[in-house]
Chains A and B, each alone.
Chain A
Amino acid sequence: MGLIARVILAFLVCTTVQAQQRFITVASTTSTEQSGLFKHLLPLFEKKTGIQVRVVALGTGQALDMGRRGDADVVFVHARPLEEKFVAEGFGVQRFEVMYNDFVLVGPKSDPAKIGGGKDTVAALQKIKAAQAPFASRGDRSGTHFAELELWKAAGIDIAKDRGPWYRDTGSGMGPTLNTASGMNAYTLTDRGTWLSFKNRGELVIVVEGDKRLFNQYGVILVNPAKHPHVKREMGQAFIDWIVSADGQRAIAAYRIGGEQLFFPNADK
């Protein structure tokens, strides 16, 4: 009984101490979190400024909603049209480009849709639909999901109408979707960062890459203090300033998995 009381007391003390700390809340995406980028990046920022960055990783759509509700100070996502809408509606102050990477189309080694590699995502998607090969979709209003929908459109396919049992809507993050794809030997669209750090590949390999349409841009936006006065404006801005600065950009470029660079800094010089 005494031991339990001591655990609870320690917990309460820690919590109180934590509450006093200087921190900002960043709503970001599962792809940035799960690729391990933040684990690499944030300690550098914290050391420099003493500001702790608390990342809540959701999909792009949910992250922007968090910003709309005022539950985050900064949003860091990857769906340009949605981000611009966010700022236009007055929920964000200004959008800054930070870095890019690319998507890749992964699928089973056996390649049931007979895509045969290459750089043409649109052709690949058409072949997948024609063959009715299993395809796993994020279905969660994330940046990746958004990009996937745009690609179906570019392929001239109205996926909402023409989907069949071969199109599996997982409604979940990149990791779980990759798990599902791996488990059912399906094709799926994923960002390269998550793919590189994903450990349960099963039979999946990269099927299409290098297509210009697979370009994936990340942007960062300060949540508008005019709409939500409690937003930590200075500290949030400090984070944005740092991540687009030479220091921050260098740190992004330095992040590698197995020697491969995941994200490519491209903040406006």
Chain B
Amino acid sequence: MISTLGEIVALSLGVSLSAVALASLLGLPLGAAIAVGRFPGRRTLIVLLNALMGLPPVVVGLLVYLLLSRAGPLGELGLLFTPPAMVVAQTILVLPIIAALCRQAVEDAWVEYEEQLRSLGADGLRAALTLVWDIRFSLVTAVLAGLGRALAEVGAVIIVGGNIDGVTRVMTTTIALETSKGDLPLALSLGFILIALVIALNAAAHLIKEAAQRRYG
């Protein structure tokens, strides 16, 4: 099966959107809980979380590869060189970004909301989740940052996906391949498509955010 351009773009979107969805599901409550909670080691955890935003994609790819390889602990799953493996790797990559940015946003909002929420009897995780939903439009920025990272990275997906034609070939890995084949015009065109896609996604999110803010205040 040969990858067509449409398939490559669709796979990029599928993998990265899934990873961001999963990372948001895990990362938003995590970031909010850290923002609102008070426990020993909290500051160290925050520093660590911020630092993990800079995880090198190729290192994540290598670690996930070692996990999913037949010679590794999760080899039985047979996930290596499949799109789900790519989703796993990108989720790990994007999770710290979403959690750290959410923590910052929630912590800022907590200053405004804390007394009233506690007065009403909302504490801990309950308050955190209420806040996340209330500041959801500001969190769009965090999610977009994660999506941008996922769509743009090549190190993780190429190692765990194997850049298999028709199966795990995404935009960034195709650009890498075409560049290495010396077909620079093609690689460049793909690059522009990728950039255009990211700009379109950002623009759409921005418009949605503005419209919602006007409506909800």
Interface of A with B (CB < 8 Å)? 4, 7-8, 10-12, 14-15, 18-19, 25, 30, 33-34, 38-39, 43, 46, 52, 54-57, 69-71, 172-176, 178-179, 182, 197-201, 228, 230
Contacts and interface: CB of A to CB of B under 8 A. Distances in A.
Contact of A199 (B75, B84, B183): B183
Contacts of A30: 180
B179 to A, nearest CB: 7
* B interface SS class: loop
Contacts of B84: 15
Interface string B54-86: 000000000000000111000100101111100
Given A10-B14, A15-B84, A70-B75, A43 B69 contact: no
Contact of A200 (B1, B70, B80, B182): B182
B70 A70 contact: yes
* A interface SS class: helix
B167 interface: yes
Nearest to B162: A56
B82 A8 contact: no
Interface in B156-183: 162-167, 177, 179-183
Interface stretch (B15-23, B36-44, B97-105, B119-127): B15-23
B184 interface: yes
Nearest to B75: A70
Contact of A54 (B14, B75, B78, B167): B167
Interface residues of B, number: 33
A176 B82 contact: no
Given A8-B21, A176-B180, A198-B182, A18 B14 contact: no
B180 A7 contact: no
